[in-house]
């Protein structure tokens, strides 16, 4: 069943029940829509796009912050037969222009946060974009854009019944770009449907669950985890803001049962509890059954601390890529807490293999590139056959991640292939050093990269963010690292914020650029 059909089924089965809730604590705003309203809005948007002349396989850009309009817009685009093109809200104007030109988008839907960036490149965008739709207050609307409510909520609410097959393109996702320039990943309707099945299988959602969504919806991770609630018609909350107090207030007041956190947010919650900025007895959290983390390597020390504070929570970690339709091609499994640190086992209907540079399968405990195969593998890198041919071979997706498999079949992520540090001929994996440093109770966050060295080629550099109201010196770090082999110890130590993407991944190109100015 296509995800557009699942929405229609939810409307038929649970029409008057709440589907989505938006909370914005900073402005004391709470909004909600039912499954009937969600479905009707998607139909109205689809019919409005069709009336504009949008046809199957046309591209519609969606550049919006998380809000209650986000998902109806996405589903409306899909239901029209067009490809949704959700863009990272942190992209520069130049990157937005490149994405729009690559997609040849005909309609551009945007929020008021992006007016300045769009104004600066509009002359170039106008080469393909025929219509701009503005989601925001009318007094902020640029003259060249039409108002969302006037255009999209005035169309027919009857399903246009555009014929769509599972193999049809559905969405064009530009990768986050943490290892280079974003590439356009084409996902099909079949890919999106499969993501629903994966998430439900892994986390056992029922109609009584309530999923708290905090990460950005443009990213496959947040949306595909939400798919587990979506496929069973369960409600979800979109939270705008990531402070520990707001997260726990929302879980308590909305009775959330499943929360997907990023590593920094989980850290912040534990620190707030440790510093007594938060008193857990002030919140109703008994219904909270699952905390899971993805999008980045998870320090085992973090989960050990979490389980001490929340011993009754199930825990899972999920590994995935945009190219695998988001999370779940590998997952730990809620029953495998004894393997915390591993990314887990092949996910529902997924296969995994670890290979050397000749694509020869490696034995247990040897590190090589992780390959995955399953119904979630992307169709292609759009307009990039060379990159597609390098990444997809015989149905296997080359992830670019270095991993090993233990004798129980669990996969352990070693590091990004491009991030391996070679120092004096020795391979050093930054994740290993990051996980080690995160065992220090004074450290809140850490990122590790290699920096040039005349003698060794590269040496380890660590950027460390210390916990609030805590002091730490370089000598303290070096003393702590004496347990590491000498060649793995950081030679350069900097105290600063660790740059992370909205999905929590360490942005190592930014670290390299910043540290490069120092040397």
Extents of the domains making up the chain? 3-14+22-194, 213-220+234-416, 420-516
Q: Tell me what percent of the residues of the chain surpass a pLDDT of 90.
A: 76
Q: Is the distance from CB of 420 to CB of 429 less than 8 angstroms?
A: yes
d(CA 487, CA 489): 6
User: Does domain 213-220+234-416 match CATH 3.40.50.12780?
Assistant: yes
Question: DSSP label at 336?
Answer: -
* CATH number of the domain located at residue range(s) 3-14+22-194 in this protein: 3.40.50.12780
Beta bridge partners of 381: 185
Return the minimum-mean-pLDDT range out of 234-238, 367-371, 447-451: 447-451
Mean local confidence (pLDDT), 345-353: 97
Name the band, by pLDDT with cuts 50, 70 and 90, for residue 178.
very low
Please report the sign of the dihedral spanned by the C-alpha atoms of residue 505, residue 416, residue 510, residue 324. Answer: negative
**Residue 140 token pair:** 């902020």
Name the band, by pLDDT with cuts 50, 70 and 90, for residue 23.
very high
**What are the counts of helices (DSSP H) followed by strands (DSSP E) for the chain?**
15, 27
Spelled out in words, what is the top-level CATH class assigned to the domain 420-516? alpha beta
Name the band, by pLDDT with cuts 50, 70 and 90, for residue 91.
confident
Verdict on whether the full-model pTM lies above 0.85: no
pLDDT digits (tens, 9 = 90+) for 109-120: 999 999 999 999
**Residue 410 token pair:** 């669990």
Nearest to 350 by CA among 336, 333, 329: 329
Neighbours of 461 (CB within 10 A): 25
Beta bridge partners of 494: 463
Mean local confidence (pLDDT), 13-37: 97
Name the band, by pLDDT with cuts 50, 70 and 90, for residue 458.
confident
Residue 179 confidence (pLDDT) = 42
Stated as kind and residue range, the H or E segment containing 128 is: none
The mean of the pLDDT values for the chain is 92
Q: Is the distance from CB of 111 to CB of 67 less than 8 angstroms?
A: yes
d(CA 294, CA 60): 28
Mean local confidence (pLDDT), 344-365: 94
- Whole-angstrom CA distances from 226 to 36, 106, 200, 205, 405 are 18, 28, 10, 10, 29
**Residue 305 token pair:** 């601390």
Task: Confirm whether 3-14+22-194 and 213-220+234-416 share one CATH topology.
Answer: yes
């Amino acid at each position: 069943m296509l995800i557009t059909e699942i929405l229609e089924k939810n409307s038929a089965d649970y029409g008057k029940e709440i589907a989505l809730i938006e909370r914005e604590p900073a402005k004391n705003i709470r909004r909600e829509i039912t499954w009937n309203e969600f479905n009707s809005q998607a139909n109205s948007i689809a019919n409005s796009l069709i009336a504009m002349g949008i046809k199957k396989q046309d591209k519609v850009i969606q550049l919006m912050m998380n809000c209650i309009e986000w998902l109806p817009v996405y589903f409306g685009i899909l239901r029209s037969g067009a490809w949704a093109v959700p863009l990272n809200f942190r992209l520069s104007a130049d990157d937005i222009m490149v994405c729009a030109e690559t997609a040849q988008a005909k309609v551009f839907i945007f929020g008021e946060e992006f007016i300045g960036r769009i104004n600066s490149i509009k002359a170039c965008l106008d080469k393909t974009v025929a219509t701009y739709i503005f989601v925001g207050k009318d007094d902020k609307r640029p003259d060249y854009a039409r108002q969302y409510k006037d255009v999209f909520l005035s169309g027919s609410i009857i399903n246009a019944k555009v014929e769509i097959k599972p193999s049809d393109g559905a969405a064009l996702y530009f990768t986050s770009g943490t290892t280079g320039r974003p590439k356009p990943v084409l996902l099909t309707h079949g890919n999106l449907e499969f993501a629903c099945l994966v998430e439900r299988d892994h986390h056992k959602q029922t109609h009584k669950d309530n999923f708290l969504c905090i990460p950005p919806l443009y990213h496959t991770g947040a949306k595909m985890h939400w798919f587990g609630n979506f496929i069973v018609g369960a409600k979800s909350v979109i939270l705008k803001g990531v402070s520990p107090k707001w997260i726990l207030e929302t879980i308590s007041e909305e009775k959330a049962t499943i929360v997907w956190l990023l590593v920094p947010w989980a850290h912040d919650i534990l620190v707030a509890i440790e510093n007594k900025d938060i008193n857990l007895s002030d919140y109703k959290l008994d219904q909270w059954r699952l905390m899971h983390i993805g999008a980045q390597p998870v320090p085992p020390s973090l989960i050990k601390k979490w389980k001490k504070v929340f011993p009754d929570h199930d825990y899972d970690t999920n590994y995935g890529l945009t190219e695998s339709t988001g999370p779940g091609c590998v997952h730990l499994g809620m029953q495998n807490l004894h393997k915390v640190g591993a990314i887990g086992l092949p996910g529902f209907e997924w296969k995994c293999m670890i290979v050397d540079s000749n694509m020869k399968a490696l034995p247990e405990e040897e590190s090589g590139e992780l390959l995955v195969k399953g119904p979630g593998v992307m169709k292609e890198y759009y307009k990039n056959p060379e990159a597609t041919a390098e990444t997809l071979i015989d149905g296997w997706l080359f992830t670019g991640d270095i991993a090993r498999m233990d004798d129980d079949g669990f996969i352990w992520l070693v590091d990004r292939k491009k991030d391996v540090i070679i120092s004096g001929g020795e391979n050093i994996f930054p994740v290993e050093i990051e996980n080690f440093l995160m065992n220090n109770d004074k450290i809140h966050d850490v990122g590790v990269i290699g920096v040039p060295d005349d003698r060794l080629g590269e040496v380890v550099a660590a950027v460390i963010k210390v916990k609030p109201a805590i002091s730490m010196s370089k000598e303290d770090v070096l003393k702590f690292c004496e347990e590491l082999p000498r060649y793995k110890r950081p030679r350069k130590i900097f105290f600063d914020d660790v740059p992370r993407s909205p999905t929590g991944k360490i942005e190592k190109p930014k670290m390299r650029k910043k540290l490069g100015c120092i040397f």
